[in-house]
Amino acid sequence: MHSHDDSLNRLASVLRDDLDETNRTIVARMASDVQLIPQLAAHLVAAGGKRLRPLLTLAAARLCGYRGERHIRLAACVEFIHTATLLHDDVVDDSELRRGLASANAVFGNKASVLVGDFLFARAFELMVEDGSLEVLRILCNASATIAEGEVLQLSTQNDLGTDIPRYFKVIEGKTAALFAAACEVGGVVAGCDRDICAALSAYGAALGMAFQLVDDALDYAADQNELGKTVGDDFREGKLTYPVLVAHAGGDDAERAFWRRTIETGEQTETDLATALDLIARHDAIGQTLREAGAFAHKAKAALAALPDDPLRALMMEAADYAVSRHR
């Protein structure tokens, strides 16, 4: 996780009471007689995290003048969906499995992640049903289907350097931008805003999500480890196809392409490969290009908010878009 201080922390301070209430709801609604559920969920959900997505729901609702309590439950529900996708993202492929019987202590692995994720998904939908808005349900169901589609597409294209930029964008639209967009939109819906305003909030969230994901991609090849607490090269070592790699590969000569094919497509890596990868990324200005792309999305995000009332909250949401891009420095 990166540190999203600055504008995000200020947004969190302004919405402190709402956020505290959301955290209480999250803890209360993870409860289950089946102890493994709160145990495992607490590991991810209750442990904290930046609560970026629920923060967007809370901010959008308040920016639209909402004075009630419904946005709390929906913010919790957005966080549950996010946590469920994190749990499912961690599942490891069984092609790497050894043959043989499962050992008795193998209780907290893939299977627990999948099933507790399913529980959180179902709990999220229960929260929405309690809320009772079919429009909110529609938005978050569609987002959930889009997330799953994006993740499956990522699986289909992973290690495939033939993936082009539009296809890569489709992956991150699904796996990241869809929930950002939905989190913002339901804030508008709960406040009773008209279609245009809700669409503007959705557009803001979608563009913000794209910017965040692109910067995440860039940070993996550029982060100052001490400052951001992120290890350089995680994506590379996992053979993940991200934007900087696509840029460097597209601009590379035959030898460079052979390097990417070996390290990303076939996953064969030696100790010196990360240094070579960083060198190639730098040579093709792939970080710069990724951040410029992220900047364009941040600009789109801010432009979308022009439809919303001029308000200190709106200013903070706009700053959050800038911060998404500038946090690499």
Q: Of 274, 266, 198, 205, nearest to 234 (Cα)? A: 274
What CA dihedral angle connects 33, 91, 147 and 61, to 10 degrees?
Answer: 50
Residue 322 CB, shortest distance to a second copy, in Å, is 32
Residue 256 CB, shortest distance to a second copy, in Å, is 19
Residue 100 has what DSSP assignment?
Answer: S
Residue 140 CB, shortest distance to a second copy, in Å, is 9
Residue 16 CB, shortest distance to a second copy, in Å, is 30
What track of x and - describes contact with a second copy for positions 258 through 297 (by CB under 8 A)? -------xxxxx----------------------------
| 271 burial type by CB count under 10 A (0-12 exposed, 13-18 middle, 19+ buried) | exposed
Site for a second copy in 224-243 (CB under 8 A): 237-239
**Residues contacting a second copy: total by CB under 8 A:** 67
Q: Does 34 bind a second copy (CB under 8 A)?
A: yes
Q: Using an 8 Å Cβ cutoff, are 283 and 247 in contact?
A: no
> Which of residues 14, 110, 307, 314 is near a second copy by CB under 8 A?
110
Residue 168 CB, shortest distance to a second copy, in Å, is 14
Q: Of 264, 236, 177, 181, nearest to 212 (Cα)? A: 177
Nearer to a second copy, 154 or 289 (CB): 154
Q: How far is 201 from 195, CA to CA, in rounded Å?
A: 10
| 214 burial type by CB count under 10 A (0-12 exposed, 13-18 middle, 19+ buried) | buried
Nearer to a second copy, 239 or 288 (CB): 239
For residue 7, give the amino acid letter.
S
Site for a second copy in 36-75 (CB under 8 A): 36-37
Q: Of 280, 327, 78, nearest to 179 (Cα)? A: 78
> Which of residues 16, 28, 47, 132 is near a second copy by CB under 8 A?
132
Residue 48's CB is within 10 A of a number of other CB atoms, namely 9
> Which of residues 118, 164, 227, 234 is near a second copy by CB under 8 A?
118
Q: What is the DSSP string of 207-235?
A: HHHHHHHHHHHHHTTT--HHHH---TTHH
Q: Does 144 bind a second copy (CB under 8 A)?
A: yes
Q: Does 147 bind a second copy (CB under 8 A)?
A: yes
Q: Which parts of this chain interact with a second copy (CB under 8 A)?
A: 32-37, 85, 88, 91-98, 100-112, 114-116, 118-119, 121-123, 125-126, 128-129, 132, 134, 137-138, 141-142, 144-145, 147-149, 151-153, 155-156, 158-159, 237-239, 265-269
